[in-house]
Amino acid sequence: MGIESDLFCSNLVRRFGSNAAVDHVSLDVPAGTFFSILGPSGCGKTTLLRLLAGFDRPDEGDIHIRGARMNDVPPNRRPVNMVFQHLALFPTMSVGDNIGYGLKRQKVPAAERRTRIARVLEQVGLPGMENRNPGELSGGQRQRVALARCLVLEPTLLLLDEPLGALDLKLREQMKIELKHLQKAFGTTFVYITHDQSEAMVMSDQVAVMKDGRFDQVAPPEELYREPATPFVAGFVGDNNRLTGELVAVQDGLAELRLDDGSMVRGRLGQSSPPIGERADLFIRPESLVLGGDALRPDYSALRASVTATLFDGANSRLEADSAGQTLYARLPQDGSAPRLREGAGVQLAWDPMLARVFAPGAV
């Protein structure tokens, strides 16, 4: 890790007028890893990727690729390739010619080109498809050709700008697993931008959650999910319930909140603690909520709620309930153990306070 990493950036800033689209971003991506930048529309992902590719220049900060400073290096001289959402395969060229295009420009001899094209097609699971036309391929196959066209050039870094965005849901699910395997097989360093948290979580070694031009948190997917550093990350990564109340006490890292209907709930204090007496948000995941019964542990927090709907979605089935005007979702296991609950039925929703996070209110 450090300046010799495949990609190392320090304090990158890119302003448009008075607005900093990229606002002091630093990142360190070791060789052979899958790094995702995840954030909502307009947070600055594309602007950051354009700086890395060299299509745009930072106002401040440095970009290093394998130890070499890139700020003044034009895009075609950087050891970087880019895959776009709307891929631009040349429609009148065969798959083989599309893949060989960059090699030809590098003046790689024809025989070697043929060997490398055949090998990369095999690696992306399209052996022998050199002579097909892009129009004769499915959307997923075309995206694999676009990837092969970049990987055949053996870049240090592959930048991917929402490459699955144009595919339908089922294909996207399949391709995100394939991409993860391909990245590991090639060992190329991937920097992937997306607004889809599931894509980032499934594929990445590290995810940077971006908001308003800054990184809120950079961590492996599981850590982001279990230990969100900010209320934005808690609300953006995975499903979460949010309860708002007043912070009345803190003891041993556990915060106690009084909700507006007077109920008391508890959760672990996050990194940014509000002062006692101030408003605070408690986040608890749907799968951490249990439908309370006799076996409720005494240290659990619990709320009375009334069922507003059961939402069947196979393994992701959920219960929607209302507790004093706040909507909560709880996971409903589909192995027959979930009780049958009618709309309007009263339930008790309980949780282990260690699984809940409490933060000062922030934009979610």
Q: Contact residues for ligand ATP (CB under 6 A)?
A: 16, 21, 39, 41-47, 195
* Cβ atoms < 10 Å from Cβ of 34: 22
Minimum separation from the CB atom of position 49 to ligand ATP (A): 8
Closer residue to ligand ATP (CB): 15 or 114: 15
Return the number of the residue (160 or 332) whose C-beta is nearest ligand ATP: 160
Closest to ligand ATP by CB, 47 vs 217, is: 47
**Cα end-to-end distance, the chain, whole Å:** 31
For ligand ATP, the closer of residues 47 and 326 by Cβ is 47
Is the Cβ of residue 7 or residue 21 nearer to ligand ATP in the bound state? 21
Closest distance of CB 119 from ligand ATP, Å: 34
What DSSP state is assigned to residue 141? H
- CA 318-336-317 angle, to 5 degrees, is 15
Q: Nearest 5 degrees, angle CA 247-CA 252-CA 257?
A: 20
Find the shortest distance in angstroms from Cβ 44 to ligand ATP. 4
Q: How far is the CB of 47 from ligand ATP (least distance, A)?
A: 3
- What are the phi and psi torsion angles at 146 (to 5°)? -60, -40
**DSSP per position, 8-71:** EEEEEEEEETTEEEEEEEEEEE-TT-EEEEE--TTSSHHHHHHHHHTSS--SEEEEEETTEE-T
102 sits in which H/E element: helix 95-105
CB nearer to ligand ATP: pick between 43 and 319: 43
Give the nearest distance from C-beta 128 to ligand ATP in angstroms.
36
| Rounded least distance, CB 158 to ligand ATP, Å | 18
- Closest contact distance (angstroms) between CB of 217 and ligand ATP is 16
Question: Please, are residues 51 and 62 in contact by the beta-carbon 8 Å criterion?
Answer: no
Judged by beta carbon, residue 80 or residue 126, the one nearer ligand ATP is 80
The 3-state DSSP class for residue 354 equals: helix
* Phi-psi domain of 92 (left: phi exceeds 0; alpha: psi -120 through 50; beta: other): alpha
Could you tell me the smallest distance in angstroms from the CB atom of residue 195 to ligand ATP?
A: 5
Q: Which is nearer to ligand ATP, 39 or 286 (CB)?
A: 39
Contact status, residue 270 vs residue 359, Cβ threshold 8 Å: yes
User: Any residues with CB less than 8 A from the CB of 127 and at least 6 apart, and which?
Assistant: 118, 121
Considering the complex, state which of residue 45 and residue 78 has its C-beta at the smaller distance from ligand ATP. 45
Instruction: Please say which residue, 20 or 265, places its beta carbon nearer to ligand ATP.
Output: 20
Alpha-carbon span 215 to 219, nearest angstrom: 11
CB of 19 to ligand ATP, least distance (A): 6
Half-sphere exposure of residue 82: CA atoms within 13 angstroms, side-chain side? 18
Shortest CB 221 distance to ligand ATP, Å: 20
Write the secondary structure of 103-136 as one string of H (helix), E (strand) and C (coil): HHHCCCCHHHHHHHHHHHHHHCCCCCCCCCCHHH
